[in-house]
């Protein structure tokens, strides 16, 4: 049977719609089970080798215009789905084990997935380290063999499709020069080396933890917990501060008919905010179970950024440009809105914090750790997924790169668990860099209180209309005539006091 591209597009869109709604219903606590198996079964034709091969042939033959973009985004979707189908058994086994395994650390058991939360709330550094060792032992023994099977399968499939490696496959599918990104983030690491030590040591001292060189990876959750900041970020003010921020931008969240704000409490609702997009822009969910705390604010504002990006995407664009494309773009808007929670002007004005410096400094430290960790992750993932990767050497390589960037001895055990599917780490890194351009443009045009300017909101909606038709580089060139690099991000990270 000949390949029917129009039919493939239609079915891809309805598949995504059903899957996204099912995730929403499960994670929002409307239904206990997550039933995605029947959805995959109904749409199995989307992820056959023949379909994906047909897309690969079509995409290879089309120039780099809108038709070419649509085909590449669709091929990315199809190939991800095919790899997902082929490694489904491992994914299910891992999810089942992670949800049921327990970690024994001398004084009772802790659920595997709760270890990080337990570490964040544990004042005894010895017990934090014991939890880490016990968790890593479980990871190595029970989970890593399954992760490894799935990884080798994914690598094989890339070769079957004619790519030299998994890294080559995803560089092409994402349209991102991953080697150039590796060079840029290596420069970023070098540029922030001097600022990193003092910034992190001040935060470690504040948290009563040992300094860099002494501090352990198991202490990091404690460092970022920062309970002394809780009083500034109360659960009651969370949704209100988000709505007030949008109102300042001229966006009335309650009357956006395509945005469903879900703040009700339900027994099985996800504790973390999320955004679901069954139909873009017509059906977008922003879900939150408000707990309060700086991280909760950050999560809601991040997801709120995705929500407004998708909700303002032009309905008349092709499915591929509304739902697929370069996620560096949507992540950049998520980071832009999330960044407000670290902005001293916003903290003063919206939360009434007289001295926002401790919260700002804490956020800067957290962000720089994340940026350096992701820079190292990208370098590692390029090695792991490269054509000449020797898997036996990868645990050491992982520990070496992460320890070097974060300057905390990093355990080898998570060399497989700490890998994002399909180089998603590259999207985050590009988004962090891209966000600094949007924020600089907003400040230049509308002042440091841009978040209280309806004109700034108008400008943002103009950007959001594009959905993800253009990738991060193209959108930036198109809008501001600039080229995406990490110079501004490095300069921000080097800056002394705010």
Q: Give the binding range for Zn ion (CB under 5 A) out of 129-137, 156-164, 332-340, 345-353.
A: 332-340
Nearer to Zn ion, 338 or 383 (CB): 338
Number of residues that bind Zn ion (CB under 5 A): 2
Minimum distance, C-beta of residue 299 to Zn ion, in the bound complex (Å): 9
For Zn ion, the closer CB: 335 or 415: 335
Site string for Zn ion, 340-379 (x = CB under 5 A): ----------------------------------------
- Nearer Cβ to Zn ion, position 301 or 450? 301
DSSP state of 211: P
Q: How far is the CB of 280 from Zn ion (least distance, A)?
A: 15
Distance CA 469, CA 324 (A): 8
Round to whole Å and give the CA distance between 292 and 399.
34
The CA-atom distances, in angstroms, between 210 and each of 200, 201, 264, 361, 377 are 11, 8, 41, 18, 25
Residue 333 CB, nearest distance to Zn ion (Å)?
9
Least distance to Zn ion from the beta carbon of 166, Å?
A: 23
Q: Binders of Zn ion among 59-88, rule CB under 5 A?
A: none
Tell me the closest approach of the beta carbon of residue 334 to Zn ion, in angstroms: 4
Q: Which is nearer to Zn ion, 165 or 468 (CB)?
A: 468
Q: Judge contact between 125 and 131, C-beta under 8 A.
A: no
Q: Which lies closer to Zn ion via its Cβ, residue 331 or residue 473?
A: 331
Contact in structure between 263 and 205 (CB atoms under 8 Å): no
CB of 19 to Zn ion, least distance (A): 18
| Torsion (CA) 458, 460, 461, 465 in degrees, nearest 10 | 150
469 touches 325 (CB < 8 A): yes
185 vs 332 by CB, closer to Zn ion: 332
At its nearest, how many Å lie between Zn ion and the CB of residue 366?
16
Q: Show the binding pattern over residues 194-223: x = contacts Zn ion (CB under 5 A), - = does not.
A: ------------------------------
Would you count residue 300 as binding Zn ion (CB under 5 A)? no
The yes or no reply on residue 334 touching Zn ion (CB under 5 A) is: yes
| CA separation for the pair 34, 24 (Å, rounded) | 10
Both tokens of 471, joined, read 């990738």
Distance from C-alpha of 186 to C-alpha of 429, rounded to nearest angstrom: 12
Query: Is 313:325 a contact under the CB 8 Å cutoff?
Result: no
- Considering only the stretches 46-54, 289-297, 331-339, 403-411, report the one whose residues sit in contact with Zn ion under the rule CB under 5 A: 331-339
Nearer to Zn ion, 128 or 367 (CB): 367
- Interaction between residue 429 and Zn ion (CB under 5 A): no
Applying CB under 5 A, the span of 111-119, 183-191, 326-334, 380-388 interacting with Zn ion comes to: 326-334
Residues 161/86, Cβ–Cβ less than 8 Å: no
**Residue 82 to residue 394: CA distance in whole angstroms:** 26
> Which range binds Zn ion by CB under 5 A, 101-109, 136-144, 188-196, 333-341?
333-341
Q: Report yes or no: 330 and 308 within 8 Å, Cβ to Cβ.
A: no
CB of 303 to Zn ion, least distance (A): 7
CA separation, residue 265 to residues 27, 30, 448 (Å):
12, 10, 35
Q: DSSP letters along 117-181, please?
A: HHHHH---HHHHHHHHHHHHHHIIIIIHHHHHHHHHHHHHHHHHTT-SSHHHHHHHHHT--HHHH
Distance from chain centroid for Cα 481 = 26
CB of 43 to Zn ion, least distance (A): 25
User: Which residue lies nearest Zn ion, judged by its C-beta?
Assistant: 334
Binding residues for Zn ion (CB under 5 A) = 331, 334
């Amino acid at each position: 049977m000949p390949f029917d591209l129009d039919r493939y597009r239609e079915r891809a869109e309805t598949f995504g719609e059903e899957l996204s709604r099912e995730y929403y219903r499960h994670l929002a606590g409307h239904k206990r089970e997550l039933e995605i198996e029947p959805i995959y079964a109904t749409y199995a034709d989307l992820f056959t080798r023949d379909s994906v091969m047909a897309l690969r042939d079509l995409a290879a033959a089309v120039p780099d215009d809108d038709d070419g973009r649509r085909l590449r985004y669709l091929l990315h979707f199809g190939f991800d789905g095919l790899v997902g189908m082929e490694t489904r058994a491992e994914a299910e086994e891992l999810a089942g084990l992670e949800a049921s395994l327990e970690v024994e650390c001398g004084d009772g058991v802790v659920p595997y997935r709760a270890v990080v939360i337990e570490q964040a709330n544990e004042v005894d550094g010895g017990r934090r380290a014991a939890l880490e060792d016990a968790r890593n032992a479980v990871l190595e023994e029970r989970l890593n063999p399954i992760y490894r099977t799935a990884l080798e399968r994914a690598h094989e499939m890339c070769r079957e499709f004619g790519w030299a490696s998994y890294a080559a496959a995803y560089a092409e599918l994402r349209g991102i020069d991953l080697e150039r990104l590796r060079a840029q983030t290596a420069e970023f690491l070098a540029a922030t080396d001097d600022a990193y030590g003092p910034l992190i040591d001040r935060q470690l001292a504040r948290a009563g933890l040992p300094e860099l060189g002494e501090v352990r990876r198991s202490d990091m959750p404690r460092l970022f917990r920062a309970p002394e900041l809780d009083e500034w970020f109360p659960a009651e003010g969370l949704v209100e501060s988000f709505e007030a921020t949008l109102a300042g931008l001229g966006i009335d969240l309650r009357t956006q008919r395509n945005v469903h704000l879900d703040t009700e409490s339900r027994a099985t609702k996800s504790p973390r905010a999320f955004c679901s997009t069954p139909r873009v822009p017509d059906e977008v969910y922003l879900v939150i179970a408000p707990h309060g705390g700086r991280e909760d604010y950050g999560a809601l504002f991040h997801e709120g950024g995705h929500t407004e990006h998708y909700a303002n995407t032009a309905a008349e664009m092709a499915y591929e440009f509304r739902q697929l494309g370069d996620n560096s773009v949507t992540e950049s808007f998520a980071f832009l809105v999330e960044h407000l929670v670290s902005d001293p002007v916003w903290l003063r004005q919206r939360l009434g914090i007289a001295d926002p410096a401790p919260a700002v400094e804490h956020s800067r430290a957290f962000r720089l750790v994340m940026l350096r960790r992701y820079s190292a992750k990208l370098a590692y993932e390029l090695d792991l997924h490269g054509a000449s990767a020797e898997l036996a050497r990868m645990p050491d390589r992982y520990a070496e790169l992460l320890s070097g960037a974060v300057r905390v001895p990093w355990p080898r055990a998570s060399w497989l668990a700490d890998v994002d599917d399909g180089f998603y780490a590259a999207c985050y890194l590009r988004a962090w860099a891209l966000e600094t351009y949007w924020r600089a443009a907003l400040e230049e045009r509308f002042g440091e209180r841009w978040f209280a300017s309806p004109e700034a909101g108008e400008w943002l909606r103009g950007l959001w209309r594009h959905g993800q038709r253009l990738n991060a580089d193209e959108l930036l060139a198109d809008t501001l005539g600039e080229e995406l690099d990490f110079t501004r991000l490095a300069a921000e990270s080097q800056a002394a006091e705010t």
